[in-house]
Each structure stands twice: as structure tokens, then as C-alpha cells.
Amino acid sequence: MKKCNVAVVGATGVVGREILKIVAERKFPFGELKLLASKRSAGMRTSFKDKEYIIEETKPDSFENIDIALFASAEAASEIFASEAVKRGAVVIDNSSTFRMNPEVPLVVPEVNPEDISWHKGIIANPNCSTIQLVVVLKPLHDVAKIKRLVIATYQSVSGWGREAMAELNQQTRDIIAGLVPTIRREILPYQIAFSVIPQIDKFLEDGYTKEEMKMVNETKKIMKDDNIKVTATCVRVPVLVSHCEAVNIEMEKKLSVHQAKEILSKTPGVEVVDDPGELRYPLPTVAAGKDPCYVGRIREDNTVPCGLNLWIVSDNLRKGAALNAVQIAELLIKK
């Protein structure tokens, strides 16, 4: 691969740090590297690959001479700075929800729809973390048996809300174990998360669904290029630090046996089948944390419909659900 100049926006956040880790692990061929963040973080120093970098405040001219800009920041930063980066010749790979449903912006998971990067106009969107792990597992099944309907329940870790939510879970756990009443900072999570679950992720919409649930609905259809798939989801925050879990019920046009599904998925790039009930082997968030694959197990037929399967999908939301997927897109750009 040829070398390119890279900027990481949101370099001090949990996803930004994960991007840097993966860039190093995969030996991504960068030349110049700029680490950008908000004004609050500007001036901080960080070490990366035996070199010290100073965090710079993100400004329009930060993207001069940058080839690829990896945005791991909030929607506000993407709305302000993505177009500025494109104006200066950079290709933006954006991890926020800002551009995902824009029909002129490809929404890419490299194992699923790598061909879509060919029509980008300067911006490529990284899907929602819970959507990425879902479609990596579902696409090969859809190709064989055509999925008609999906019913999804997610069990999402607090790292999906960022470093402050992780700290909140840790502090509340310590408080409860010490016999104290846990502090709840509603600007981070609306209720106690330690030893509990919160059946809300993101804001509620008028129809009672949350934005997170509708992201899964709409993004799945866009990535799979099939608006006929019926998708419904319930997204829940659970007291886990890293890795999202999903219970997925699939109804298909063609019947797939458990054996056939396992055979297809065992040959799918980015997927690892962990499914042996006799040995109590199934995907766990603690095992998936820090690893690249999307793990799938508890594969079994849904006997209430003619052509149905149930799956349990687990993946590290900071890696494949965000940072790794973005770096893989950047690798595709360089190859092409």
C-alpha cells in the first residue's frame, strides 16, 4: 500500500484511541499523522509508535495536505469540519450518524459492500456499531436464503456512550459494593446502570422507538441494498464495559438448517462461529473485547415459522463496531 497523510478527529476519545491502536497493529501506511480534538484537549501530548504527538484543535485548515480524515468525534464536529476536509482534498471516513442515511454518501462495511466506496464524493460513512456486527453475520445468509424479517434485541455496553459512561458504571459499582447510594449523573445515563439495565439508547421518537433502534432498521436496509427486509429492534444498555450483544430472530424465504447456517458462517470473513451447547460454548462480551471478529452462536431453528433461525451475535463495539471498520475502509481506499 502507498503511504498517505492521515488525520484522526476525536483522537482523545475511546474510538479515536482505538483507531490509533489498530493503525499500529495493522501497520497502516501513513506518512504524516495529525491528531485532532476539541479546543479543550488541544495541547495534550500523547505517544504513538515511539513518537510524541501534540493534540491540535480541529480547524478547517487542519486538513491541508491530508489524504484521509478519520472522524471519531460527535455529530457536531462532522457537520462543521467534514466538508472543510473534503474541500481540501481529503476523503472523510465518518463514524458519526451525520451522513449515514444521505443517499449520496456510501455506508460501508468492507466484508459486506466494499464496492460502494467507488461512488463516494469525498465522504464515506461508518455504520452504527450495532448495525455493523449484525450485517457482517446476516449478509451471507441473505445471499443464500433471502431474509424477509428481522426481530432484534440488543444488549449494548456502556462504552457505546463513551468514556464518561464507562467511568459511571465503574463508580456506581464501587458505591453499591461499599454500601453507598450510587450517584446518578443524568447527563450521562438517565438511570443507575450498575446491576441494572436501561431499555433506552438515544432519544425517543414520536412513534415510541428510539433513534438507535431506527438506525438499525434504516442502516441495515441501506447496507444490504434491500428495502423489502422488515426490521424491528429494541435496544438496551447493559452494565458491560465493552462489546455489544444481539439476539436476532430471522425469517427467510428459503429454509436453512442449523448445519447449513454454521457452514456458511464458518466460511465468512470477519465471522467466528462459537456454538457448542454441550460444552457451554457461545459468544461472550468478555471474550469478544479486544478482538476483531463478529462472534455468532446459539444458532437454532425458529420452529414457529417455516424458515426461521435464532442467532446470538457478539462483537467489540469499539473495534469492529467503530475503529476497525473505519481503518478497513481506509485500506480499501488505498488499494483502489
Average pLDDT for runs of 10 along the chain of length 336: 89 95 95 93 89 94 97 90 97 97 98 97 98 98 98 97 95 97 92 98 97 98 98 98 98 98 98 97 98 98 97 98 98 91
Residues 67, 175: one domain? no
First to last CA, the chain: 10
Residues 311, 329: one domain? no
CATH code at position 191: 3.30.360.10
CATH code at position 329: 3.40.50.720
Q: What are phi and psi of 204, to 5 degrees?
A: -80, 145
pTM: 0.96
Residues 39, 84: one domain? yes
Quick check: is 244 catalytic? yes
Residues 140, 260: one domain? yes
Residues 278, 175: one domain? yes
Q: Spot the catalytic one: 129, 235, 245, 294.
A: 129
Residues 248, 196: one domain? yes
Host domain of residue 104: 4-127+322-335
Q: Spot the catalytic one: 142, 235, 244, 245.
A: 244
Quick check: is 294 catalytic? no
Residues 86, 161: one domain? no
Looking at the 3D structure of the chain, how many domains does it have?
2
Residues 197, 289: one domain? yes
Tell me what pLDDT residue 1 has: 60
The answer to whether 320 and 135 have CB atoms below 8 angstroms apart is no
Residues 153, 201: one domain? yes
Residues 229, 301: one domain? yes
Spatial distance between the Cα atoms of 134 and 120, rounded to a whole number of angstroms: 23
